[in-house]
């Protein structure tokens, strides 16, 4: 019986979609499937380094920009941008299929990456919009329903108790498969309590704004801090008093950094939340202003004592570190589900 040939497409909206895809891609290869990857930008570079023997095709870039303070796009403009990107990537995937002939498609949050008549699965943790605007929630949820309609399966990287994703994945749909949290980090248990790992990511100008706000506060702690700026290009390393500043690290470097960190400072992107639970680390979480998903996740995690939630324009890093030291509690390890991934893959491919 010929091996199934899978197209695995990854969204370029930060690096989280690519890193969380690693366990699924590795499971595909373990099952003996042929895999062609597809993405753009930094995630494509990451996937080429992580899987040098696989073809990594290029997909169109999403044209969504961010302004100062809040999203530059109003909701309807964001809808138009995603709709346009969906059409363009569907055309690109159709051309790839003509060249490679796929038996199944797995898309990590790229709504246009499906093929009529070919089994397809969408990996997503957001099946509903749950912001503070009721009308916006309704419109956004209907839009997601429209974009997910072509997919045969919806793979949610969480358990059915929705501990991590909360109301974002609270939807009754027979296509849903709970494949468990996804993280390529190894479980570690050797933190140094006075070491702080600060990992920046996300769209500009918010990434730069947060870096500029954080740096003086990190210096003021007097603790051993490593700040990963999360910018592409030639890597540079420099010291500013007690803060070691690194432009970027590969995943092995990030894993090593987190293994020794007592506290992590980062955005509450869903992939970061899964990583923090995998390695059981306390964290100060700073949502990107105007990004509803991160704002909801921050509110959802507010009641977890091992996370300190702060607004970008009201940072108090020393206060947050003090509160976490007093709590001492670390996140519970929320394990992944290799068997659930295998089951979902076999269902998708009929193998």
For residue 142, how many other CB atoms are within 10 A of its CB? 11
Residue 71 confidence (pLDDT): 43
Instruction: Please check the confidence at residue 275 and state whether its pLDDT lies above 70.
Output: yes
Q: Concatenate the DSSP letters of all residues of 7-19 into one string.
A: EEEE--SSSHHHH
Residue 138 confidence (pLDDT): 87
First and final C-alpha spacing in the chain: 9
Residue 29 CA, chain-centre distance (Å), reads 22
pLDDT one-digit tens code per residue, 228-252: 998 877 888 999 999 999 998 888 8
pTM: 0.91
Residue 72 confidence (pLDDT): 41
Q: Is 138 helix (H, G, I), strand (E, B) or coil?
A: helix
pLDDT one-digit tens code per residue, 55-105: 999 999 876 655 544 444 445 666 777 888 899 999 999 999 999 999 999
> Quick one: pLDDT band at residue 135, thresholds 50, 70, 90?
confident
Residue 285 confidence (pLDDT): 98
Lay out the sheet containing 192-199: strands in order across: 237-240, 243-246, 224-228, 192-199, 261-266, 282-285, 307-309
Report how far residue 233's alpha carbon sits from residue 224's, in angstroms, rounded to the nearest whole number. Answer: 25
pLDDT one-digit tens code per residue, 12-49: 987 889 999 999 999 999 999 999 999 999 899 999 99
């Amino acid at each position: 019986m010929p091996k199934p040939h899978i197209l695995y497409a990854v969204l370029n909206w930060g690096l989280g979609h690519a890193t969380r895809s690693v366990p699924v891609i590795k499971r595909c290869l373990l099952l003996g499937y042929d895999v062609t990857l597809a993405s753009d930008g930094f995630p494509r570079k990451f996937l080429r380094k992580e899987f040098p023997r696989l073809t990594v095709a290029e997909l169109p870039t999403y044209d969504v920009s961010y302004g100062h303070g809040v999203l530059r796009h109003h909701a309807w403009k964001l809808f138009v941008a995603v709709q346009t990107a969906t059409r363009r990537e569907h055309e690109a995937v159709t051309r790839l299929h003509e060249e490679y002939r796929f038996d199944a498609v797995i898309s990590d949050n790229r709504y246009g990456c499906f093929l009529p008549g070919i089994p397809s699965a969408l990996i997503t943790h957001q099946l509903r919009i749950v912001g503070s605007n009721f009308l916006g929630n309704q419109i956004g949820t209907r839009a997601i329903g429209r974009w997910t309609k072509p997919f045969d399966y919806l793979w949610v990287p969480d358990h059915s108790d929705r501990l991590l994703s909360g109301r974002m994945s609270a939807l009754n749909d027979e296509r849903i498969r709970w494949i468990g949290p996804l993280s390529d980090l190894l479980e570690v248990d050797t933190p140094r309590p006075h070491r702080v790992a600060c990992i920046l990511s996300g769209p500009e100008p918010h990434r730069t704004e947060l870096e500029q706000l954080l740096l003086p506060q990190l210096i003021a702690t007097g603790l051993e801090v490593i700040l990963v700026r999360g910018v592409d290009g030639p890597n540079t390393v420099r010291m500013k008093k007690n803060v070691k500043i690194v432009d970027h690290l590969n995943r092995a470097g990030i894993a090593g950094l987190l293994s020794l960190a007592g506290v992590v400072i980062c955005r509450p992107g869903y992939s970061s939340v899964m990583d923090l639970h995998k390695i059981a680390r306390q964290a100060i979480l700073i949502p990107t202003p105007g990004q509803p998903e991160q704002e909801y996740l921050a509110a959802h995690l507010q009641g977890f004592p091992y996370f300190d939630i702060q607004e970008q324009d009201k940072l108090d890093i020393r206060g947050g570190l003090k509160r976490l030291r007093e709590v001492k509690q670390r996140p519970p390890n929320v394990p992944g589900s290799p068997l659930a991934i295998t089951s979902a893959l076999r269902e998708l491919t009929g193998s």
